[in-house]
Amino acid sequence: MASTTFKIWRGERGQGAFTDYATEVTEGMVVLDAVHQIQASEAGDLAVRWNCKAGKCGSCSAEINGRPKLMCMTRMDELPAGEAVTIEPMRAFPHVRDLVTDVSWNYEVKKKIKKFTPRPPDAPDGTWRMAQADVDRVQEFRKCIECYLCQDVCHVLRDHHKHDEFIGPRFLVYAAALEMHPLDTEDRLRDLKDNHSIGYCNITKCCTSACPEHITITDNAIIPLKERVVDEFYDPVVKLVRLLRGKK
């Protein structure tokens, strides 16, 4: 067993400082295990949100050594040996206490996205028929566990605080899952351009690199949506073709 120092952010409402804790690290431990160990032995009042410990609930999001990660999926042996480990809360959301942030803004944003609106059923029994190839594309987006690490690392939210204008990568993925769905009939492109400000994304791919589910957020969701927005609002040739075909 080796003792490792953990520098954990302690404080409330954005104020606070790193406090050092030393704890024993054993083989197979993840960062969340160490935090629980510290909580049990030295800091019983340490606030940390967690639930499944299996990388599926998205609760234990934090910044470990400066990188947004799930504490339960970050193995201690992945981190530099012999160095102190820093753990701080996500910086894109209001700070509540210690490692806990208020992510409720995300729930409000989700409500603003037009819901799934399927075409009338294909069969008399109220069911639909889809080709597997057509749903394969959106299947990837359904892996999202809503940990909001992509929102946290997105500089539009994290550094520029455009929360009132920009919905962030998580909800661009959500919008892509609906917009590209073969059964969906709703049009979200004007919202994406004007109200959800997809143009704020400057494709740095930080969201993709932070995603614990390895969703190819930028290439498979955001850029295809950007291209659809270009079709609809910026491309004069597409507009002309639509005009000639009598489509609006």
Partner 1 sequence: MHRSLPVMDQRKFGETLRRDAWWVPNVFVVTILTSFLVYATYAAFANAHYTSGPYLSPFYSPEIWGDSPHAWFGPKPVWWPGWLPFSPALIILPIPALFRFTCYYYRGAYYKAFWADPPSCAVGEPRKTYWGEKSFPLVMQNFHRYGLLLSFILLVFLWHDAWLAFWFSSGNGGTQFGIGVGTIVMLVNVLLLSGYTIGCHSMRHVIGGFRDKLSGSRARKVAYDCSSACNRGHMNWAWCSLFSVALTDVYIRLCALGVITDLRIL
Q: Which residues bind to partner 1, rule: CB under 8 A? A: 13-14, 63, 65-68, 80, 83, 86, 88-89, 91-96, 102, 104-105, 131, 133-134, 137, 153, 155-156, 158-164, 179-182, 184, 197, 199-206, 209-210, 218-219, 223-224, 226-231, 234-235
Residues 6+ apart with CB under 8 A from 114: 178, 186, 188, 191
Q: Which is nearer to partner 1, 234 or 240 (CB)?
A: 234
Residue showing tokens 């390895």: 214
CB of 228 to partner 1, least distance (A): 6
d(C-alpha 67, C-alpha 88), whole Å: 10
Q: Which is nearer to partner 1, 3 or 202 (CB)?
A: 202
Q: Which is nearer to partner 1, 53 or 135 (CB)?
A: 135
CB of 16 to partner 1, least distance (A): 9
Q: Which is nearer to partner 1, 52 or 190 (CB)?
A: 190
CB of 40 to partner 1, least distance (A): 25
CB of 51 to partner 1, least distance (A): 21
Query: Does residue 86 contact residue 18 with C-beta atoms inside 8 Å?
Result: yes
Q: Which is nearer to partner 1, 56 or 137 (CB)?
A: 137
Q: Which is nearer to partner 1, 27 or 164 (CB)?
A: 164
CB of 73 to partner 1, least distance (A): 17
Query: Does residue 178 contact residue 113 with C-beta atoms inside 8 Å?
Result: yes
d(C-alpha 127, C-alpha 113), whole Å: 25
CB of 248 to partner 1, least distance (A): 17
CB of 94 to partner 1, least distance (A): 3
Q: How far is CA 200 from the centre of its chain?
A: 16
Q: Which is nearer to partner 1, 56 or 200 (CB)?
A: 200
d(C-alpha 240, C-alpha 91), whole Å: 45
